[in-house]
């Protein structure tokens, strides 16, 4: 039997056509894959998507239990069925070509890789700068409240690694959860998503824990498209969730005194010297 590769998409009242693109992108492969649709919506109207392919498993939670907690359901099931790798996929992702095959081939060559993220693009082809250094609270505040970009551009560019070669594979401590490949041996060692984060920062927290023991690689040899919207900038409810998650993150890892953050960031930047 070929190696089982799992993936999961967390649903919450999503547009079915957008979801269809994400689902079909992942399943367009000859590899032995299984896709979990974990639905946090009250209604199970999205269950109809299960009929698209017999490699889909649909789970309806009947409540919004959060991003990380929902993905954990799929990751646990993937581990139980003996999967080696698991893709975490946002519902607004789509891609073409051999993205899955290329990422799996790469991670199979190096067991020290715990997490892998491709280049993430906007639908118009411009880059989303998602691999990052570990952020200080000040950097989060400046970005979120919209401080004048000209005054702090250099500071933010450094944090977002905007000036580094965009086609260089590199080991960075923060990878986005919008599309990432998890080595499940690493996850069994460091743990699942911390479900105390309802939404936001759960991917940074997991990425940091994996980075402590494994490589967390930005892998720009392949690209996916992300129809991204800054929800926390448009909704006061989501903004409150963002602030709560940010507080939880820094309470866990340290607000202004975080020696590990400075050490990891310094080592990350040394790759580009």
Task: Give the model confidence (pLDDT) of 200-247 as tens digits.
Answer: 999 999 999 999 999 999 999 999 999 976 544 567 888 889 889 999
Q: Which of 211, 172, 206, 185 is nearest to 71 (CA)?
A: 206
Residue 186 has pLDDT above 50, yes or no: yes
Q: Residue 181: its pLDDT value, please?
A: 99
Q: Where are the alpha helices (DSSP H) in 28-98?
A: 67-80
Domain count, the chain: 1
Within-domain flag for 150: no
Within-domain flag for 265: no
Phi-psi bin for 252: left (phi > 0), alpha (psi -120 to 50), beta? alpha
- C-beta separation of 175 from 198 below 8 A: no
Within-domain flag for 250: no
Within-domain flag for 78: yes
Within-domain flag for 268: no
- C-beta separation of 161 from 185 below 8 A: no
Domain CATH for 76:
3.90.550.10
Span 253-272, pLDDT tens digits: 988 778 899 999 999 999 98
Radius of gyration (C-alpha) of the chain in whole angstroms: 18
Span 82-140, pLDDT tens digits: 999 999 999 999 999 999 999 999 999 999 999 999 999 999 999 999 999 998 888 78
Q: How many whole angstroms separate alpha carbon 89 and alpha carbon 82?
A: 20
Domain carrying residue 48: 5-133+165-230
Torsion, Cα 155 157 160 166, to 10 degrees, reads -150
Query: pLDDT over 90 for what percent of the chain?
Result: 77
Within-domain flag for 50: yes
């Amino acid at each position: 039997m070929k190696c089982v590769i799992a993936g999961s998409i967390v649903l919450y009242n999503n547009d079915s056509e957008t979801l269809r693109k994400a689902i079909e992108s992942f399943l367009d492969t000859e590899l032995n894959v299984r896709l979990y649709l974990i639905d946090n919506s009250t209604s199970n109207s999205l269950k109809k998507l299960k009929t698209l392919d017999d490699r889909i498993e649909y789970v309806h939670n009947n409540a919004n239990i959060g991003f990380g907690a929902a993905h954990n359901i799929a990751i646990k099931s993937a581990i139980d069925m003996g999967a080696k790798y698991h893709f975490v996929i946002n519902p607004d992702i789509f891609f073409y070509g051999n993205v899955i095959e290329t990422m799996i081939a790469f991670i199979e060559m190096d067991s020290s890789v715990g997490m892998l993220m491709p280049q993430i693009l906007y639908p118009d082809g411009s880059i989303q700068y998602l691999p990052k250094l570990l952020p200080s609270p000040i950097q989060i505040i400046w970005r979120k409240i919209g401080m004048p970009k000209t005054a702090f551009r250099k500071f933010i560019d450094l944090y977002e690694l905007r000036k580094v070669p965009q086609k260089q594979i590199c080991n960075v401590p923060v990878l986005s959860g919008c599309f990432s490949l998890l080595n499940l041996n690493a996850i069994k060692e460091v743990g699942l998503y911390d479900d105390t984060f309802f939404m936001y920062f759960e991917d940074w927290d997991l990425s940091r824990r994996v980075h402590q023991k494994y490589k967390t690689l930005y892998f720009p040899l392949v690209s996916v498209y992300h129809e991204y919207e800054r929800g926390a900038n448009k909704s006061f409810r989501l903004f409150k969730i963002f602030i709560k998650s940010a507080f939880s993150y820094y309470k866990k890892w340290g607000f202004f005194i975080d020696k590990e953050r400075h050490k990891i960031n310094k080592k990350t930047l040394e790759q580009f010297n």
